[in-house]
Amino acid sequence: MLTISPASAVRTSILQLGYYCDDAQFEFGPIKLDGKRAIIDTYRRIYEQTPETLTVHQLIADEDGIAANVTFESRALVDVPTFLFGPLRKGEMFTFFVRPSSGKNP
């Protein structure tokens, strides 16, 4: 198991280096972020209010791609009524699990 804390520092560095293409799109249910600027601005605001710890439980890579079983934990430093996944009060934590699917992407 690998834990990176704060993962926000790593992600902010990636965002500043221009990791995303200009027309990148993120979709989380009803939430849609269109374009590199929207992604950078949204995540920069999130990371300032809710530092994140990323734990990698399993990582698999081969010639077809990469898959990971990870946990993201964000703890609110202040009240965040507009947190991406719902309101958080100071001190509350949001945990998000990502596990690889059994199918392959097209």
Residue 76 has pLDDT above 90, yes or no: yes
Burial of 29 per CB tally in 10 Å (0-12, 13-18, 19+) = exposed
What is the pLDDT averaged over residues 51-75? 84
Which whole-number Å values give the CA distances from 77 to 50, 51, 54, 71, 88, in the listed order? 6, 8, 17, 19, 9
Which CATH architecture is the domain 2-98 placed in?
Answer: Roll (3.10)
Residue 89 has pLDDT above 90, yes or no: yes
Domain boundaries, the chain: 2-98
Query: Residue 98's pLDDT band (boundaries 50, 70, 90)?
Result: confident
Query: Residue 106's pLDDT band (boundaries 50, 70, 90)?
Result: very low
Distance, in Å, from the CA atom of 28 to the CA atom of 60, rounded to the nearest integer, reads 24
